[in-house]
Amino acid sequence: MQTLLFLFNRLPLQVNYYYDRRIAQYIRRHKSEYDIVFCNNIRTAEYVRKLNGIKKAIDFVDAISMNYEKAQKLAHGIKKWIYAIDHKRCLRYERQVLNSFDSCAIISEIDKQYILKCQQTSMS
């Protein structure tokens, strides 16, 4: 992670933490060598989210935004503030990923419905 990068963008903290420009450059240079790119969760989605000319699939694993919403309710002090910020960032980002990937999977119906409900709410 680039030092303090998360302060200057609206990406979720986890996306910022795992992002490396060298990996992004490698993927851009080599994308034509593959039929599809698979991302294991939103942490890796930023590498290909805006790429065109290649099929993209993601396994959300779970709705991180829902986890942060729950954590925010239980947290105190600075953790409550951090969870509140990242809940909003994750929710926005999960919606962006849904709209920019060809295929999406998620572990449970509860997590799926949470993301879809939040997406519909934002579109209304």
The per-residue pLDDT string of the chain (124 residues; one tens digit each, 9 = 90 and over) reads 455 555 668 899 989 988 999 999 999 999 999 999 999 999 999 999 999 989 999 999 999 999 999 999 999 999 999 999 999 999 999 999 999 999 999 989 999 889 888 766 655 4
Considering the entire predicted model, what is its pTM? 0.85
Q: Report the pLDDT value the prediction gives residue 8, as an integer from 0 to 100.
A: 66
- Written in H, E and C, the secondary structure of the chain is CCCCHHHHCCCCHHHHHHCCHHHHHHHHHHHHHCCEEEECCHHHHCCCCCCCCCEEEEECCCCHHHHHHHHHHHCCHHHHHHHHHHHHHHHHHHHHHHHHCCEEECCCHHHHHHHHHHHHHHHC
